[in-house]
């Protein structure tokens, strides 16, 4: 039921929504999140604007981990389907990084599943971001404790 893609190419939100909802008349709400490369990515105090970001992943395990996260979302929330697309490779400021879609008869499960999916992707899928600054230097992004706390929230709720 879940569509999962790990790809270097960009995605089109409208096209992915159309693919997820095609031929269905039982969907009342579509929740969506798009993560984007911003100029101050890892830390707002970064010394330099981020010029580019490189996303590394663990081929094989990545798809497996995302599939498990999507399964969890489908078990926890009354959704009719979901889509997760995560880009890898080198991205520039303003580029899309990740797309999460979740569809449901009603808005609340769609919104909840969307938040759950992105929270869990941030902490349970094997991706690593390296920022490249305008001055030519670079640094691996540190994991944020706030992300662990956000994902942990779903454990408490569940």
Partner 1 sequence: MNAPTTPVTILYFAWIRERVGRSEESLVLPAAIATVADLIDHLAERGGGYASAFVTRRTIRCAVNQEFADQSAAIAPGDEIAFFPPVTGG
SS3 92: strand
When asked if residue 124 is in the footprint of partner 1 (CB under 8 A), the reply is yes
Task: Find the shortest distance in angstroms from Cβ 60 to its own copies.
Answer: 27
What's the rounded Cα separation, in Å, for the pair 5 and 129?
A: 18
Write out the binding residues for partner 1, residues 36-65 only, by CB under 8 A. Answer: 42, 55-58, 60-61, 64-65
Residue 142 contacts partner 1 per CB under 8 A: yes
Phi-psi region of 74 (alpha: psi -120 to 50; beta: other; left: phi over 0): alpha
Stretch 49-108 residues interacting with its own copies (CB under 8 A): 49, 93-94, 105, 107-108
Helix ranges (H only) for the chain are: 13-21, 61-76, 107-124, 145-157
> Minimum distance from CB of 49 to partner 1 (Å)?
19
Nearer to partner 1, 1 or 128 (CB): 128
Query: How many Å apart are CA 4 and CA 67, to the nearest integer?
Result: 7
**CA 154, 157, 158: angle at the middle one, nearest 5?**
80
Interacting partner of 126 out of its own copies, partner 1, none (Cβ under 5 to 8 A depending on kind): partner 1
> In this structure, how many other beta carbons lie within 10 angstroms of the beta carbon of residue 104?
24
Interaction of residue 33 with its own copies, rule CB under 8 A: yes
Asked if 77 contacts 113 with a C-beta cutoff of 8 angstroms, the reply is: yes
Is 129 a binding residue for partner 1 by CB under 8 A? The answer is yes
User: What is the rounded CA–CA span in Å between residue 92 and residue 38?
Assistant: 8
Binding site for its own copies (CB under 8 A): 12-15, 17, 21, 24-41, 44, 49, 93-94, 105, 107-108, 110-111, 114-115, 118, 150
Binding site for partner 1 (CB under 8 A): 35, 42, 55-58, 60-61, 64-65, 86, 97-98, 107, 118, 121-130, 140-144, 147
């Amino acid at each position: 039921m879940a569509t999962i893609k790990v790809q270097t190419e960009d995605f089109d939100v409208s096209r992915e929504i159309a693919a997820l909802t095609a031929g269905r008349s039982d969907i009342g709400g579509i929740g969506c999140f798009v993560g984007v490369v911003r100029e101050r990515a890892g830390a707002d105090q970064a010394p330099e604007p981020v010029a580019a970001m490189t996303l590394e992943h663990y081929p094989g395990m990545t798809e497996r981990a995302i599939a498990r996260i999507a399964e969890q979302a489908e078990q926890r929330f009354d959704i009719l389907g979901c889509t997760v697309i995560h880009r890898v490779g080198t991205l520039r400021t303003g580029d899309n990084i990740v797309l999460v879609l979740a569809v449901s008869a009603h808005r609340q499960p769609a919104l909840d599943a969307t938040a759950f999916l992105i929270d869990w992707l941030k902490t349970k899928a094997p991706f690593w971001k390296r920022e490249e600054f305008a001055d030519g230097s670079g640094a691996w992004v540190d994991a944020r404790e706030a992300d662990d706390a956000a994902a942990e929230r779903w454990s408490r709720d569940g």
